[in-house]
Chains A and B, each alone.
Chain A
Amino acid sequence: MIEVSELTRRYGRHTAVDQVSFHLDAGEVVGLLGPNGAGKTTIMRILAGFLPATSAARLEVCGHDVLRDSLKVRESIGYLPESVPLYRDMRVQEMLDFHGRLHRMGRSDRQRRSAEVLDRVGVSDRSRQLVGTLSRGLRQRVGLAVALLPEPPVLILDEPTSGLDPLQRREVRSLVRELSDEHTVLVSSHILAEIESMCSRVLVMAEGHLIADGTREQLEQQLGGSAGVRLEAYVGLDPEAAVELLKSLPGVTAVALGERLGIHHGFVIEGEGDLREDVGALAAQEGWALRELSSQKRSLEDVFAQLVSGNVADISASKENAPAATMEPTDNDGLLQLQPDSGFNASAKAPPAKKMIYSLNPFDQGTSRELGAPMEIEDPTGNAESDEPGDPS
């Protein structure tokens, strides 16, 4: 349904999208994931015909060339920009009517469809209200209704959950999941969990490059494959010596010393294979008082956080030799230093490491700093949701 090949878009000297290629099959729900400024919105705008591409080998939606057959493409796309642009002085019903007219829908068609879509997004009781007086969440839903009205085969939703409260997010997510039955959906977000909950396939963008494409598992393989062991123990007074000892183990590539917790020290040992047995053996041999010994996979979140903090080159490099699963942990100190905390929380609760880290998402922290206001409400959001949305594992 969507065919993009070697798409490049420059703003002056700055290259926003650089040689990106991907394609979507009919019925697919694909997430476009990436930090702000990664080029997600640009790609979507180009696909929707709002921006022209600087160059592209192939750019097609539903078999129509985006540049040459722009009107046909626009007819077959339901595009919802991030700002949800709706005419504030129109009633919801009028807005839908207007959109229907633009799409050359007949009167009866418009009436039938607008009742349907309003019902679908759950705002049928608001059809006479002015768009300008709607709350952000309702507006988002009306925007979705507008995009859905002409039954477009392709839906392009730019950050459909931004600025919503947790309940609203959850609803939008479930709505998008439902849409996959009838539409091909390209949805963007900078929140991994959201994308995961909506899409089967994720495209990861960073600084204009497409750095990963696939299901969650594939992505983990591609991006975050390296495993590690977390050790928390009383190792005596000289933790540096313990680090040396740990390093000497076979297969260990790096050992990081965490902060001191009472008399205990935290370590993260990285290497090939499952190192827990070796580390356990070493602890037994050295007589360390073990408090925790857990296997720790480098999660997608970690990798993504790294993207946000701007280490694209590393990720890209790691992507290239992903099977080798070797990572230099030295550059993600910030991440590691936070981990002991999460460890505490996590140990009290269920073991899934991924979840624990998500709950105190360092990446969220990172983004919230960059994003400003809208993200601030996401911190509690993340916490609240961590229990519920259920990793679709």
Chain B
Amino acid sequence: MRGTLVIYRRELAGLFLTPLGWLLLALALFANGLFLYLVLPYTGGDVGSSLRGALGGGTLFWALMVFLPPLLAMRMMAEESRSGTLEYLLTAPVSDSAVVVGKFLAATTFLALIWSVVPLYGLLFQLQGSPPDWGAVFATWLGAVLTSGLFVSLGLLAATSTNTPLLAAFLAFAACLGWILVPSFGGQLLNSLDAFVGTGDLGGLLVQTLRSSLQAMDVLRHFHFSWRMGVIDTAEVVFFCSWPCLFLFATVRMLEGRRWRV
């Protein structure tokens, strides 16, 4: 636990004591600001829906979600492995899981900080006399943070599988993008299959099962129909916590496996 904290501190410091972290932050904040700039007039100055839109409503949010975690994961895993500092970490008296969890927490905190800008906008609105619906904003923010955790863990897993930073980033990016796109595209594909299979027969049953399992894995859907509506749903909390746990577990195993394969 202590080791996790030490690693966490070091990773955060590594992000904020280099210009890179601030640059990423600036870019993300600019993207968020751009979203607000575009969406506020569109909703006629509707504070609540604009703020919640900035968290999960637009393509920009999901683009950040797909791009940032792989970048962070690449920096934290593949780059470290290439520069040899991973050897340093793995021979220091901390467990592998502490290393992985510390990095995961640091990256998630960084993303949480980026999303925290939305409550900050809310505060600005409040100061200007148009207070937002804080409960809803908080729920959406929490959802965004948990979703970031999900993607960070996925990115870490992908980035751990290779030494090459660029390949790691690409793999992580592909994994995150796939996690988002496969359910929706798969669902559409299945919808078009509907025309060819009956509702009662085996094919129809198969399509139904596939559809429902795809739906169960659809992050966008999970995010949209709970967090973004301003609801804390225990099932969603479980979803957004259990998958990262699985990915982190797999990452630790993968890290151990690397030792065998190296």
Contact = CB atoms under 8 A, between A and B. Distances in A.
Q: A and B: direct contact (Cβ < 8 Å)?
A: yes
Interface string A311-336: 00000000000000000000000000
Given A87-B14, A89-B18, A101-B6, A50 B93 contact: no
A86 B84 CA distance: 8
Residue from A87, A99, A102 whose CB has the most chain B CB atoms within 10 Å: A102
A85 B18 contact: no
Contacts of B237: none
B196 interface: no
Interface string B245-260: 0000000000000011
A49 B91 contact: yes
Given A52-B259, A74-B91, A102-B94, A85 B83 contact: yes
B6 A102 contact: yes
A390 B90 CA distance: 39
A71 B91 contact: no
Nearest to A44: B91
Nearest to A74: B93
A244 B229 CA distance: 102
A52 B260 contact: yes
A51 interface: yes
Interface in A56-87: 71-72, 74-75, 77, 79, 81, 83-87
Residue from B6, B87, B88, B262 whose CB has the most chain A CB atoms within 10 Å: B88
A48 B6 contact: no
A346 to B, nearest CB: 42
B8 to A, nearest CB: 11
Please classify how large the interface on chain A is, using the bins under 10, 10 to 19, 20 to 34, 35 or more: 20 to 34
B74 to A, nearest CB: 15
A89 B18 CA distance: 7
Contacts of B95: 71
Contact of B93 (A71, A81, A88): A71
Given A51-B259, A81-B87, A85-B87, A102 B92 contact: yes
Contacts of A85: 83-88
Interface in B70-96: 83-88, 90-95
A102 B84 CA distance: 17
A89 B19 CA distance: 10
Interface string B165-199: 00000000000000000000000000000000000
Nearest to B86: A85
A50 B6 contact: no
Given A74-B91, A85-B85, A51 B262 contact: yes
A53 B223 CA distance: 45
A104 interface: yes
B95 to A, nearest CB: 7
Interface string B12-39: 0110011000000000000000000000
B14 A89 contact: yes
Interface string B88-107: 10111111000000000000
Tell me what chain B mostly uses at the interface: helix, strand, loop, or mixed. Answer: helix
A50 B84 contact: no
Contacts of B94: 71, 102
Contact of A98 (B10, B17, B90, B91): B10
Contacts of A81: 84, 87-88, 91
A103 interface: yes
Interface string B219-262: 00000000000000000000000000000000000000001101
A318 B10 CA distance: 53
A77 B14 CA distance: 26
Contacts of B9: 101
B92 A99 contact: yes
B4 to A, nearest CB: 11
B10 A83 contact: no
Interface string A187-225: 000000000000000000000000000000000000000
A133 to B, nearest CB: 13
B88 A74 contact: no
Contacts of A104: 2, 93
Nearest to B90: A50
A94 to B, nearest CB: 8
Interface in B118-140: none
Contacts of B84: 81, 83-85
A80 B256 CA distance: 21
Given A49-B90, A71-B93, A72-B93, 19 more contacts: A48-B91, A51-B262, A81-B88, A83-B83, A83-B87, A84-B84, A85-B83, A85-B85, A85-B87, A86-B85, A87-B10, A88-B83, A90-B10, A90-B13, A90-B14, A94-B13, A102-B92, A102-B93, A104-B2
Interface of B: 2-3, 6, 9-10, 13-14, 17-18, 83-88, 90-95, 259-260, 262
21 contacts: A49-B90, A50-B90, A50-B91, A50-B259, A51-B259, A51-B262, A52-B260, A71-B93, A83-B87, A85-B86, A85-B88, A86-B88, A87-B10, A87-B14, A87-B85, A90-B17, A98-B10, A101-B9, A102-B3, A102-B94, A104-B93
For the complex of A and B, list the 3 residue pairs with the smallest distance between their C-beta atoms, beginning with the closest: A85-B84, A83-B84, A85-B85
